Structure 1
Amino acid sequence: MEETLPPDSAGAWGVSASTSLEAYRALRADRSRWLPIALDIARGRGLDTSSPHVFSTGTNLVVGLGEKLILKIFPPLLRAQFVSERGSLTQLAGRLSLPIPGIVAEGMRDGWPYLIISRLAGTLGSEVWPQLAEAQKERVLRQIGETIASVQRAPLGPLAQIQPRWDDFMRAQMQGCKARHTRLGLAPKFLAGLDDLLRDAAKLIPMDAPPVLLIGEYIPENFLLACTNDEWSLAGLFDFGDVLAGWRDYDLLGPSAFMAAGRPGRVRNLLEGFGYAQLDFTLKRRLMALMLLHRASDLNSHICIEGWQEQADDLVELQELIWPG
């Protein structure tokens, strides 16, 4: 549904914010420029705008409308995220035991697509995770592994056509891998092993296997937790803006880097929940390759093992550190 701006806010998004990522980020940082438009969209839908809550994290413009709904607005230059989110929520609806947002309405405001989705109950994972006891972290990681497997059992449907194709994506990532990690400051002792790892990756990573739905970011910022009888559990999953269709192991990288911290019990629970009974050298090597090839890969920022740069002398030792056992 295409909507037009009311006369008093015509052109408020700004042409540059529709076409320039830098200009869009400036718009996003100044809620006074976009929140009135968001609230006008909500009012036009007959929704309660008396107590809006702006979410400061994430990429898009997101505002909570009371306790039940969220309005998520996507700039035109990130339209692919809108297509991804809408397609994923539609395809996964009713197929998971874990709550995900439901689409209540969708539309367009002056070329900017938006979704109105249901708001999930729970506490943001990033707020809770650091304080959890080790046994609770293992429990949650097993549930994350189970959730990844459950998502991947869902039929792809129209998402099978999402771009880029897995083989094209992987080959492009391989081609730019060394330059990327050199630019990001990966230590020379790890860069030295990249060529060997990439040669292995071409054989270890299936390019033509039947693809599954990949969320790409199973990280604490994208899930909710809830506590019952002093036990924390996964309570909801959201943010489906960067989905791919490809090889299943790719989705183990987020929790491996941000949450498992090289702890054997955490790694074991994550992998067993996912369905892997054995962690052998081949699997470690494939995961190490995929971690370096991930679209958001930056080992210096993402591996949450304190002092890991000093604990490993090459990529083989690093994979043993991240996935012990």
Structure 2
Amino acid sequence: MTKVSSQHLPTFTDTESFRAFRTTPAQWLPIALDIARGHGLDTSSPHVFSAGTNLVVGLGEKLILKIFPPLLRAQFVSERGSLMQLAGHLNLPIPEIVAEGMRCGWPYLIITRLAGTLGSGVWPSLPEAQKERLLRQIGETIAAVQRAPLGALEAIEPRWDDFMRKQMQGCHSRHQRLGLAPKFLAGLDDLLRDAAKLIPMDAAPVILIGEYIPENFLLACDNGQWSLAGLFDFGDVLTGWRDYDLLGPSAFMAAGRPGRVRNLLEGFGYAKLDFALKRRLMALMLLHRASDLNAHICIEGWQEQADDLVELQELIWSG
């Protein structure tokens, strides 16, 4: 790795302190630009990305610098390993690593900047037919990522079985704390018992991005038709059972619409949507590391439309 010196990044022991630092670019942008100059890059038109977890700055139209605090080093390992492993395995563009290095124990990546329009800015206004089309493309993309060999990602932590067991142990208390309605909490223990049988713990693992959501992909329009144009943000990659990656688009995009659900699942490779698959997806949605049903299910009035978790799974994966 290239080492660049002269300006220093502080040490943080908790994420809240780091977030406060990140949201004040004046504290770190000069250091980011110093890193970029150390690699001979143009710093005349930087653009700070306010969203996201790490320090991210665009360097003109072609490059992006991502700096990871030491307490989030696992995200650097995930991002770097995923970009290296998926290179050449997808038809969809992903960033390429141009340079990498370390500043004061903070690892960083300089990657190519993808062309396209952020999905979250386009998705809400798309006609229904185009939403169905895009969800089929997302299903196909998930399947393509999962066909790629694991390579060095095979060693990424946590391991799937350990991750699932930990999520199961904390699932009830998590959703109680997040305010899930008692009528859904009442069926949670039964669902977790089913989950232990429905979710494979030792099947051959695949690459799991974890967040196929509009904020993490780019779109392009050709003659009025929008298509996937790029995928980015690989900081939370796991390896494990393939269905886990259906949860983001199911919660944030499919909205319980049968046509959307069908296109997502068919693009992924599932021709049949039966009770067992719905039950497994419901369990995985509750076990997802970012799970918060009240915040994430995009079906208006879903709390009133379902009386228990079985009715809820039928509502989310209708059709």
**TM-score of the superposed pair, with normalisation by structure 2:** 0.99
Shift of 1:4: 5.0
Shift of 1:138: 0.3
CA contact (8 A) 2:156 2:239 kept: yes
Structure 2 counterpart of 1:196, one-letter code: D
Tell me the residue number matched to 1:305: 299
Structure 2 counterpart of 1:14, one-letter code: P
Residue 106 (str. 1) matches residue 100 (str. 2):
yes
Deviations 1:278-309 (A, max 9, x none): 00000000000000000000000000000000
Tell me the residue number matched to 2:118: 124
**TM-score of the superposed pair, with normalisation by structure 1:** 0.97
Give the distance between the partners of 2:5 and 2:310, measured in 1 at CA: 56
Tell me the residue number matched to 1:193: 187
The secondary structure found in structure 2 opposite 1:77 is helix
Give the distance between the partners of 2:211 and 2:161, measured in 1 at CA: 20
Shift of 1:3: 2.7
Which consecutive unaligned segments of at least 5 residues does structure 1 have? none
Tell me how many residue pairs correspond in the alignment: 319
Residue 60 (str. 1) matches residue 61 (str. 2):
no
Tell me the residue number matched to 1:182: 176
Q: After the TM superposition, which residues 221-300 of structure 1 pair with which residues of structure 2 at under 5 Å, given as runs? A: 221-300=215-294
Give the distance between the partners of 1:53 and 1:247, measured in 2 at CA: 37
Give the distance between the partners of 1:286 and 1:310, measured in 2 at CA: 22
Give the distance between the partners of 2:88 and 2:269, measured in 1 at CA: 22
Give the distance between the partners of 1:65 and 1:200, measured in 2 at CA: 49
Give the distance between the partners of 1:164 and 1:251, measured in 2 at CA: 16
CA contact (8 A) 2:4 2:35 kept: no
Give the distance between the partners of 1:57 and 1:130, measured in 2 at CA: 19
RMSD: 0.8
Which consecutive unaligned segments of at least 5 residues does structure 2 have? none
CA contact (8 A) 2:2 2:100 kept: no
Structure 1 counterpart of 2:3, one-letter code: E
Tell me the residue number matched to 2:65: 71
Candidates 42, 47, 54, aligned match of 1:48: 42
CA contact (8 A) 1:2 1:109 kept: no
CA contact (8 A) 2:4 2:38 kept: no
Candidates 1, 8, 14, aligned match of 2:10: 14
Give the distance between the partners of 1:99 and 1:162, measured in 2 at CA: 23
Structure 2 counterpart of 1:115, one-letter code: L
Tell me the residue number matched to 2:3: 3
Deviations 1:113-160 (A, max 9, x none): 000000000000000000100000000000000000000000001101
Give the distance between the partners of 1:130 and 1:220, measured in 2 at CA: 10
CA contact (8 A) 2:4 2:101 kept: no
CA contact (8 A) 2:83 2:96 kept: yes
Give the distance between the partners of 1:107 and 1:240, measured in 2 at CA: 18
The secondary structure found in structure 1 opposite 2:28 is helix
Give the distance between the partners of 1:316 and 1:23, measured in 2 at CA: 41
Give the distance between the partners of 2:189 and 2:55, measured in 1 at CA: 40
Residue 143 (str. 1) matches residue 122 (str. 2):
no
Shift of 1:14: 1.9
Give the distance between the partners of 1:109 and 1:246, measured in 2 at CA: 32
Shift of 1:22: 1.5
Shift of 1:2: 5.4
